[in-house]
Amino acid sequence: MITATYTDLRSNLKGFLDRVVKDSDNVIVNRGNGSAVVIMSLEEYESLMETAYIMSQPDIVEAIRQGDEDVKKENYEIVDVDEL
Distance from C-alpha of 36 to C-alpha of 9, rounded to nearest angstrom: 12
Residue 69 has pLDDT above 90, yes or no: yes
CB contact at 8 A, 31 and 10 = no
> What are the tens digits of pLDDT across the range 13-51?
999 999 999 998 999 999 888 899 999 999 999 999 999
Report angle CA 48, 53, 59 to the nearest 5 degrees: 135
2: confidence class by pLDDT, cuts 50, 70, 90: very high
Q: pLDDT value at position 32?
A: 84
Q: pLDDT value at position 67?
A: 96
Q: φ and ψ at 3, to 5 degrees?
A: -115, 135
Cα R_g (the chain), whole angstroms: 20
